[in-house]
Structure 1
Amino acid sequence: MDRVRWCSDDFQRRVGVGPAEETVVVQQNGVCLYDGGRRIGFDNGLLSLTTHRLLWVGRPNSGESFIALPLVAVLNATMEAGGGGFLRNRTPKIVLHLLTQPALETALLALPHTLPWIDRWRKNAGGDAYAVVSSSAEDHIKLGFAAGGEKNFWRALEETLKAKPWAVTVASARIHGGPGIAGIERQQAARAHATDARLEGAFEDLNKLISQAKEMVTLSHTLAHRTREAKGGELTNDETAELRATMLSMGVEDEEERGGTARMSLTVGFGSFHTQLAHQISNLLTPILSEMENGPQSKYRHMGAGCIDLASAYCRINRALGMQLVSPEDVLKACRLLERERLPLRMKKFPSGLLV
């Protein structure tokens, strides 16, 4: 809710002209506001969707201040239906996922024309004083429609977000045929906004990847425990080797072998970083390469008997390291130390340049 700002009634009437002209699209009574999933006392108000903002006022036509959210702040809008059965009294909601406050300010400054109310969201113009809450850890707000009408409002909101009338560029708005200082500033702000959007998307994808990786580790450990329980005791040597090879191919070491640690670690004291890494590479790849030599029944027979190319080895090593990723150069340097450390693996270079 720190991206939602207080505005006065006089301020509402200053809706701009030309590209900045703001008109009402749809209105709905009986709307409650939530900061994330928490109600914050803004209940049963009038919610207005304009071409540029969402406006909420507790008592329409009373002259009291209203609160506003620029549509440029909305990343996407989703429906959260009301409950049925035991949850039949649950209010249907629209969930708005928002830009961060710094990214919102950058996005507003990147618009092709100046909006009359933009200072309420500019830190340097004292906009923080108008925030509904000083700070919020939530990245979304919810609009609760106690009196219904959520489907029509959501459709209108989706259409407006796709059209982006606040970003329409009018050619006649350019002055003297050149961008000038203001144009250069807008271009810089636009580039910064695009960078912010890409970074937010990248971090969102990274968080999903980390979450899936954790699920993979948990699944492998559950598999190991259930296999032992199903056997009613200790596994045979062949079964243990098969399970360990499967877990290693997923980038996870056996819990009991590692004392409960689910990934490789570079904290073992072998000396320098590359020496440590050489030992870890040997510990990881030796069981796999040994399995390759077991003949046509080996699950790794498609990779060649007892050898693996350096590119495939690099991928397996980084999968096993989890978040402690290493560069190709570090892996190459570590592999060159295998012979010096008298480890069971050796790196070989063929005349073609292939490293295995």
Structure 2
Amino acid sequence: MAASAWLPPVDLTDSGRPVLFPGEVERLFISSIDLQAEENPSLPPLRSGLLTLTSHRLLWINETSRFAHFIPLGSVIHAFPPKKSIKSMFTSPKIRIQVTSDSDGKITSGKGTTSVVITIVMRGGKSDSEAFYGKLWEVLKSRSWEVEEVKGREDVGEIRDSGSVEGTSRVRTAVVGVAGILRKEQEMWESTDKSLQDAFQDLNALMSKAKEMVALAEKMRQKLLSGSAAQANANDEEMGSKQEMQDWLLSVGIVSPVTKESAGALYHQQLSRQLADFVKLPLEKSGGMIALIDVYCLFNRARGTELISPEDLLQACALWEKYEVPAMLRKFDSGVMVIQSKAHSDEEVFARIISLAQKPDALKMGISPSDAALTLGIAPALAKEHLLNAESRGLLCRDVSPDGFRFYVNMFKEFELGNIYLAWRINAIAGLDEDSRCDIDADLDVQATLQASIMMLER
């Protein structure tokens, strides 16, 4: 009996991270976790996986085999605290949860006909069972999966209604004399002070509202994705506007950014996977390559208040070598670092550069990094790296002048080795003055000198 027979599966991204539900937020990561149904031996256990506690589910992921299952928190009836005894000090910490299930033992999110006790075994050695139980109990009490979305228009309507009532019920005192002026000034100061207190008294509430807006944008994006197949016969203009709307929603932010608080020792590992999923869209828009500094700005903007340092970004990119992700970190000879898609081909870029360099104007004046940037649709700094890389391959020649770098098609490779001395002889003759070139055929001494020079070079 497979694990999928009693636990629903989880969809994973290309980097191995779970696809979260709209509004779902990751709260805690724990490695080396077993899931067992001790009371029902017919249900196969899950061994040594990554357990992720979210606001909606308990996710178990096998990072090696790339399969995952989850336990909906809506099915949890009770969570038993870890036992404290002398025996438990020498064994792996265990936490038991009672969940609803159907008659076949499959875990359901609704009301099942029976229940089963699932044991969470922490074999990592560094896991804190008390901290996990506290976080699990906190998420269960919040019941985020049951919270209904509050309509913003209704809230605004209530605020306007309450404001209008308050405004009509307020009695205005006439401003008369010095006492009236002082009273008016006092009212203005009190109103300003109250506004400042309301604005700064609770920053956490402000951050919570920001997260709600990101969650709302994610729900809208999911609806657009689900409706794209049904409306495939729409006109191009409508489809283009929907694509722009979807890209805008993707740039709003990451709903559940990986943090040091939630991931702990797994912070850089999970950050690396989340970054690999994030750069997929920017790489598609930039031709398969984007500067590392640009990724740093885009990623931090999407994470909102959960900013990362440049060192964290470098460590996350360095971990891509261990995982099967579609992106890689690349460093050019000049020291410029970029993030590149594994599907990116240097040969295709070189072919476009050579085609540009063979145009009539480029054959005379050469091409600059700005010219290549316009053709490739990338930043001039990256275009310059591509030109230098093409030069190292022998495809281009560089000319450095006060005006900057200019690159030309490499014609030297077109010369045949057998005609090298012939080219030298032509250049030698061309170096003579006009009278000598006119009498070159009659001047045997010059011909003998040239022939002797050629024979010496051949030796």
TM-score tier (shorter):
0.3 to 0.5
More RCO (CA 8 Å, sep 6+): 1
TM-score normalised to the size of structure 2? 0.27
More helix by share: 2
- Greater CA radius of gyration, 1 or 2? 2
